[in-house]
Amino acid sequence: MSDTKNDEKLRILQERLAQIKQKQDTPVPPRQQREAVIEIPTPKNEAPKKESKPMNLSWVKRTVIVGSVAYGIFYGYTNIDFNSLVPNFSEEETPVELASSQLEYKFNLIGNNIAIISTKNSITDEGSAKAMVNDLKVKGYKCNYFYLPENSNLSDEIYQVFIGPYENEEETNQWAKNLEAEFNIITL
């Protein structure tokens, strides 16, 4: 009894497999492939809802990128000193000439060090140099001025004011720190 039932089950199974294979092999006409649209009736009080499209955030990304680039340019423009990146050579000077023309002073002073005061504008007249020396003397500095072409190897027609001379560099530096200007300490 079990052998006949098994044979019969096997035959039915093979027929079904053949039918399934035949359905897969035969193309389905386009009419049968269409999906059936099921309409859900809406209540009278509610308006039909429109399908919402997903938000396109590409404009946000572009805005953030453009803003970041603009901020980077602004930061670089305001915080980087571009003049210090490029050598400042006049038309007559070349880098070779600058290296060979090192400033040398010729002084007959009693002491070891002086501090030359650097001014933003060159002092071109003797009256301005005397006025600056008088102001420093009133403040208690030991100071004087000199004409650059007479006391150095440069021919720039300017006056330079200095404090000193002092016995050592520490004393010179201590006095020069109290100045409200930039200075260069020179050993005599």
- Domain range list for the chain: 104-187
Give the C-alpha separation, 78 to 72, whole Å.
10
Q: Which whole number is the average pLDDT over 41-49?
A: 60
Q: Does domain 104-187 have CATH number 1.10.1740?
A: no
Token pair 């499209």 in the structure block, residue: 53
pLDDT tens sequence across 83-142: 777 666 555 555 545 444 666 777 777 778 888 888 777 888 899 999 999 999 998 999
Report pTM.
0.45
Per-residue burial over 18-53, b if 16 or more Cβ lie within 10 Å, else e, is eeeeeeeeeeeeeeeeeeeeeeeeeeeeeeeeeeee
**CA-only gyration radius of the chain, Å:** 47
One-letter amino acid for residue 49 of the chain: K
pLDDT tens sequence across 128-178: 999 999 999 998 999 988 888 877 777 788 898 988 888 888 888 888 888
